[in-house]
Structure 1
Amino acid sequence: MAPAPAKPVPGWPGWIDLASPHTETARAFYSDLFGWSFYTLSLPDYGDYTVFSLGDVQGPEVAGMQGLADDSQPPSWTCYFKVEDLRTAVDAVKAAGGRELTPPADYAGLGSMALCMDPEGADFGVARLGNVIEFGAANRPSTMCWAELACRDTGRARRFYGEVFGWRAVECEYHGSVYTNWELGDRALAGMVSMDHGWPPQYPAHWIPYFWVDDCDASAARAAELGAAVRIPPTDVRPGRYAMMTDPSGARLAVITPRTTAGPGGAA
């Protein structure tokens, strides 16, 4: 992800949060792996919500976490994208072929958000500009620096996200494979990979966050020691060296050591 605009801009990642069946385990895992601290907010009608911060508890906010709504919900990270008006954004999602999973709602004065699903079945969120809870830090070590969509019909995904957020899909080739960068203006903010025959047939489309680490190999090894399953071992790609894993509860994430100080988007 290239350096974010100085002021919030619609269409950019604005927040991520984790739904986990074992919040205590997740707190320990991410605090050790990324050096995060955390505090817990008790939200009327919504229960406890964990806010992760960079460094100590007074540091900038980098992510959130809540328990699973029910046993049928899989552990997962949700990426939220900034919008000016939630109702307009959700209507655009539905008009482009997506679904509204939860209607726009205000979470105890911390922010207004809604959950959606794209036509490929990947969940994501939209968050109103100016929320109290949004990234205090991103695109720097120990924070999210990239978001990536994995899906099967990349053409349909291009049309959908172009209509909803105004993103432009730019393809690049690397070692015989095609990778798509999502761009807004002159900045890359996310990517997309095609789920080809190498993926299990029933594996769902999904968004996955990438976290910036100083040493990909050391972070992947430490994650495994902490109970993660490393699905793709440290591998060199054009933007840097990355590894993909599931945390101890099964939520997907990736770590990357970028080749440039601009982050993955600046090197893509």
Structure 2
Amino acid sequence: MTGEPTFFEIGVPDAVRAQKFYLRLLGWTPHPMGEDGQAWLETGGIRGGLHNHDEDRRIDIFFSVADIEAAVSAVRELGGEAEDPGPEEPGFGRFAFCKDDQGVRFGLHQLAR
């Protein structure tokens, strides 16, 4: 369904440390991918991503769209900002980081086909 949360991403300075924290606090299971402690997080609900070396220390939420190219265009037409969508990530789909017309950061996510 369009508009529902489908993915979140946590950016931290130390991904291995964050894996331990969220596993102990919330019971999330980390699944390693990439390098430096990066992982996708199994939460029992939507998937999460965890990446390293992020001094912003943030959690981003991504919302489902059927056509990411069209959604990025709509964000821009409505006065927001949107990065060009990234390539298909196997098993995950395509993502684009955006900001609304007041500068609030969020993401768009087109599910894997």
| Counterpart among 90, 96, 101 of residue 114 in structure 1 | 96
Mapped partners of 1:60, 1:88: distance in 2:
27
Deviation at 1:37, TM superposition (A): 1.4
Q: Is the 8 A contact 1:51 1:61 kept in 2?
A: no
Higher alpha-carbon Rg? 1
In the alignment, the residues of structure 2 paired with residue 88 and residue 115 of structure 1 have an alpha-carbon distance, to the nearest angstrom, of 14
**1:163-183 CA deviation, whole Å, 9 max, x = no partner?**
xxxxxxxxxxxxxxxxxxxxx
Partner of 1:22: 14
Residue 112 of structure 2 is aligned to residue 131 of structure 1: yes
> Residue in 2 aligned with 1:62?
47
AA aligned to 1:106 is P
* Code of the aligned partner of 1:131: A
Aligned to 2:62: 80
Q: How does 1:192-211 map to 2 (within 5 A)?
A: none
Amino acid at match of 1:85: D
Q: Secondary structure, in 3 states, of the residue corresponding to 1:42?
A: coil
Mapping of residues 232-247 of structure 1, within 5 Å = none
Q: Which amino acid aligns with 1:77?
A: I
Secondary structure (helix, strand or coil) at the match of 1:104 reads coil
Q: 2:98 is aligned with what amino acid? A: C
Q: Check if 1:103 corresponds to 2:88.
A: no
Counterpart Cα distance in 2 of 1:107 and 1:42: 16
TM-score by length of 1: 0.38
The TM-score, its normalising length taken from structure 2, stands at 0.85
Deviations 1:81-118 (A, max 9, x none): 00011111011001111001x31112542311100011
Alignment deviations for residues 113-171 of structure 1 (CA, whole Å, 9 cap, x no partner)? 1000112211100000x328xxxxxxxxxxxxxxxxxxxxxxxxxxxxxxxxxxxxxxx
Aligned match for 1:51, one of 40, 43, 46:
40
Q: Find the aligned partners of 2:103 and 2:46 in 1 and give their Cα distance.
A: 29
Counterpart Cα distance in 2 of 1:78 and 1:111: 16
Report if aligned partners of 2:41, 2:47 keep a CA contact under 8 Å in 1.
Answer: yes
Q: Quote the Cα distance in structure 1 between the aligned partners of 2:100 and 2:40.
A: 26
Partner Cα distance (2:101, 2:46) in 1: 31
The superposition leaves residues 197-253 of structure 1 with CA deviations (integer Å, 9 ceiling, x where unpaired) of: xxxxxxxxxxxxxxxxxxxxxxxxxxxxxxxxxxxxxxxxxxxxxxxxxxxxxxxxx
State the Cα distance separating 1:61 from its structure 2 match: 5.7
Task: Say if 1:68 and 1:75, in contact at 8 Å, map to a contact too.
Answer: no
